[in-house]
Amino acid sequence: MTLGAALWRRKFWILVPTLLAFLASLGLVNILPTRYSGEARVLLENRETVYSRPTADTRQDPAIDPEAVASQVQIVMSKDLALKVIRDMELTQRAEFDPLSKGLGIVHIVGMLTGLMNDPRAIPLEERVLQTFYKRLLVFPQGKSRVISIEFQSEDPQLAADVANRIAEEYLSREELAKRDTSKITSDWLDKAIEPLMKKVMAADAKVEAFRASKGLFVGSNNMTISNQQLAEMNSQLATARTQQADLTSRAKLIREAVRLGRVFETSEINNNELVRRPLEQRAALKAQIAFDERTLLPGHPRMQELNSQLRDLEAQVRAAAERAARALENDARAAGARLESLQAELNNQKRSAALSNEDEVQLKALEREALALREQLVSYRNKFLDAAARSSETASPADGRIISRAFAQNDPAFPKRLPIVALVTLGTLVVSSALVASLHLMARVSHFGMADFATPAGYPLPGLPPLVPAPLVPPPRGGGGGGGGGGGAVRRRGLIDAVIGKFRKSEAETGPVWPMPAPAATPRIAPAANGWFDEPAAEEPVREPVSARAASSLPDQVAAELALLGMPGRAKVMVLQGLDREARVALQAMRLARRLAQDGATVILDLSGANPLYPRVVGEGATGLADYLIGTVELADILHRDPRSRVHLVPAGEPLATHLAGPQARQSVQSLVKVLAQAYAFVLIDAGNVGGAAEFATEAADCLGLVAPEGADEGYLQQAIARLEEITAAPVLLIDDQPGRALDAAA
């Protein structure tokens, strides 16, 4: 039976617990006290501006990372904040927050008596309320955002909203107070540090002035010492003197060069001279007169001679004036040179004085730098003190967060969620019950393939059969009686047999009784030479009546008679059929023999070869078989199929079994299956394929072995095969001639 069928068969084990769970959850959700939830949300952000931030702080707003959000969540859940809210909201006076307000429960009393619980009365009231407060409080960040949700539950919806809002307000108030405390602490420290620093600045300035006065390093204009300022002025005068001397020398040289070349009238120095300007004007007028008279007078005329004489005198005067101007300029140049020499000497003296004062100036600059550093530190402290003092006032520094959603009273209770709880409990019970039933079914399937003994209690009745005695896995020698089996696995074995019995009862309802059980009888054994059978010499046995009135002349009748001679009353006879080679038609002989044995009792064929097409034709293509049973997808009753032409039951292979029979666990499962079939049937025929195949291990459980040999088989090879089988088991080996008969299609 499949897993679904197993669940349906045990449906009451699933439906009854599910119904009970539904009723219990329905009653529980109506008994539990109703609690409402209030939720407030706080957005974390830096609320400082350029006005509230310190003047010297030019940094950008710091980012609020996930670690900072998690830290703020812990601050919201701090014990100090919770106690402040409890006192402000007077929660200690509400019975729902004090576990002892309704008295000690039976659980607490038993726990205290056994020492497993402490006496809650020893805990202060505020601590008990605090424990309940934390059970009702839930603080968490909203996803990957910077929003913190604050949820609080209470039996009063308005109280739940008020407490959530109060927690958010108290959190922001504490953040703002922390900022103010920081600013106040900073301003107090700066106030104490400014006064000593001011004294240090004054002492440093006094030291600088005293050193400057002692060394004569006074400062003039342009923030320069007097010596350096004098040196700069003398250097400037020296440069001016050099320029003046060079200018005078060049002018005198130019005039003398013009006089030498007769170009005195072409120089600007002569033309602009006041002493020469008058003669030059007269010369110009005289030259004009000469030019006028030349039109009427010859050069030898006295008038012309007079005018030329006057012109020569004027030119001589001009040259004399130029000589005087040149001498004047040379004198001025010599004077400038003398002054230059004087300034140069004075500058050298000043340089020597400046060189002597360099060391003092270095010390003075070091003192000035120290004083300047102290002064700048003092100014910085004063500015920071003013900023901190301004920000330490109330509402000067806002908290780094704001309430973006305030809690309000809810009409829908947060606990218990009646419909989800009832649905989840009912569905969970349904799933768990189904899983347990399925697990028990699968565990029973696994135990069927295990090493446990599947013996059935002695005397377990089967329809139409006398009480059965459990048979051992390896039968005793021929003629021996049935042995007892172990008691392990008896309950599971009974269930498997019940499944087979149910299959038979269904068949009886359709076609009548499956196995008529006539009185057991036996026919005299036939000598091997007469019928082609090989067997060890038989002991003398009493002559028994024939199995039926029909003469035992056919091969199936002879095998049936031989099986009857084996005795073993009270238990099934297991016969394993194997072929000498691939030419042997083992499946055809098994079907013929099974249909004959079905006249004497319930018969089943177990196909271990998995290679013969006869069985699929008999039971139908795609029918479930032994391979499905070994992998655990079906049960025993699902692999038992009815032969449409007889009352034989058939367990087909389903698919090739070579891989399934490779392991020891699968072989143990097949052996256990043979034991189960032996308890439910009178005859069990096992088609083990050819000699030496994968199913050869099944011969260990045989009461009789049948070796099917085709016509013309080699006698030497036949004797070797029989010897091999006799080494494996002590059961008798029967040689069955594969006589010509109906084809496979006719047999199917």
Question: 266: pLDDT confidence band, cut at 50, 70 and 90?
Answer: low
Question: 139: pLDDT confidence band, cut at 50, 70 and 90?
Answer: very high
Which residue, among 496, 446, 505, has the nearest Cα to 675 in the 3D structure? 496
How confident is the model over 514-556, as pLDDT tens digits?
333 333 333 333 233 223 333 333 333 333 333 332 333 477 8
Which pLDDT score is estimated for 690?
A: 83
**């301004």: which residue's tokens?**
390
Which pLDDT score is estimated for 478?
A: 37
Does pLDDT of 42 surpass 50? yes
Q: CATH class for domain 223-356?
A: mainly alpha
Name the residue with higher pLDDT: 82 or 58.
82
Which backbone phi and psi does 535 adopt, to 5 degrees? -155, 155
Does pLDDT of 224 surpass 60? yes
Share of the chain above pLDDT 90, in %: 13
Name the residue with higher pLDDT: 618 or 524.
618
Which residue, among 610, 603, 601, has the nearest Cα to 629 in the 3D structure? 610
Which pLDDT score is estimated for 479?
A: 37
How confident is the model over 643-692, as pLDDT tens digits?
888 889 999 988 777 666 767 777 888 888 888 888 888 899 999 888 87
Which pLDDT score is estimated for 485?
A: 34
Across the range 203-228, mean pLDDT stands at 74
Across the range 373-387, mean pLDDT stands at 85
Of the candidate ranges 268-277, 565-574, 726-735, the one whose mean pLDDT is the lowest: 268-277
Of the candidate ranges 118-132, 309-323, 358-372, 386-400, the one whose mean pLDDT is the lowest: 386-400
How confident is the model over 147-180, as pLDDT tens digits?
999 999 998 999 999 999 999 999 999 888 888 8
Which pLDDT score is estimated for 465?
A: 34
Which pLDDT score is estimated for 2?
A: 61
Across the range 104-124, mean pLDDT stands at 74
Which residue, among 439, 447, 459, 438, has the nearest Cα to 492 in the 3D structure? 447
Which pLDDT score is estimated for 563?
A: 80
Highest-scoring range by mean pLDDT, 14-18, 343-347, 437-441: 14-18
Which residue, among 700, 647, 640, has the nearest Cα to 675 in the 3D structure? 700
Across the range 582-599, mean pLDDT stands at 86
Q: Say which residues have a Cβ less than 8 Å from residue 630's Cβ, sequence separation at least 6.
A: 449, 657, 660, 666, 669, 670
- Give me the half-sphere count of Cα atoms (radius 13 Å) on the Cβ side of residue 59: 7
Does pLDDT of 407 surpass 70? yes
CB 727 within 8 A of CB 572: no
Share of the chain above pLDDT 70, in %: 74
Does pLDDT of 232 surpass 80? no
Which pLDDT score is estimated for 604?
A: 92
- 3 state DSSP class of 684: strand
CB 670 within 8 A of CB 702: no
Distance CA(227)–CA(19), nearest Å, equals 113
Strand ranges, E, within 225-352 = none
**């009353």: which residue's tokens?**
569
CB count in 10 Å sphere of residue 323: 14
Which pLDDT score is estimated for 324?
A: 77
Distance CA(140)–CA(525), nearest Å, equals 92
Which pLDDT score is estimated for 17?
A: 92
Name the residue with higher pLDDT: 713 or 448.
713
Name the residue with higher pLDDT: 711 or 207.
207
Which pLDDT score is estimated for 187?
A: 81
**């046995």: which residue's tokens?**
541
Annotated domain spans of the chain:
1-32+418-448, 37-187+394-415, 223-356, 486-526+553-747
CB 171 within 8 A of CB 403: no
Measured over all CA atoms, what is the biggest interatomic distance in the chain, rounded to whole angstroms?
Answer: 212
Which backbone phi and psi does 204 adopt, to 5 degrees? -65, -40
CA 736 to chain centroid, in Å, comes to 70
**């040689």: which residue's tokens?**
735
Which pLDDT score is estimated for 464?
A: 36
Question: Do you know the residue count of the chain?
Answer: 748
- Per-residue H/E/C for 563-624: HHHCCCCCCCEEEEEEECCCCCCHHHHHHHHHHHHCCCCCEEEEECCCCCCHHHHHHCCCCC
Homologous superfamily of the 486-526+553-747 domain (CATH): P-loop containing nucleotide triphosphate hydrolases (3.40.50.300)
Report the number of secondary-structure helices (H) and strands (E) in the chain.
23, 13
Q: What is the mean pLDDT of the chain?
A: 75
Name residue 560's beta-bridge partners: none
How confident is the model over 18-37, as pLDDT tens digits?
999 999 998 888 888 888 99
Does pLDDT of 270 surpass 50? yes
Name the residue with higher pLDDT: 303 or 496.
303
CB count in 10 Å sphere of residue 561: 19
**């809810």: which residue's tokens?**
410
User: Model's pTM, two decimal places?
Assistant: 0.42
Across the range 304-332, mean pLDDT stands at 80
Which pLDDT score is estimated for 546?
A: 32
Element (H, E) at 80: helix 79-89
CATH of 37-187+394-415, one of 3.30.1890, 2.40.380, 1.10.390, 1.10.3470: 3.30.1890
How confident is the model over 465-506, as pLDDT tens digits?
333 333 333 333 333 333 333 333 333 333 444 444 444 444
Across the range 266-286, mean pLDDT stands at 71
How confident is the model over 625-646, as pLDDT tens digits?
888 888 777 888 888 898 888 8
Across the range 399-420, mean pLDDT stands at 85
Of the candidate ranges 123-127, 398-402, 492-496, 608-612, the one whose mean pLDDT is the lowest: 492-496
CB 150 within 8 A of CB 168: yes
Across the range 319-342, mean pLDDT stands at 81
Name the residue with higher pLDDT: 503 or 567.
567
CB 374 within 8 A of CB 176: no
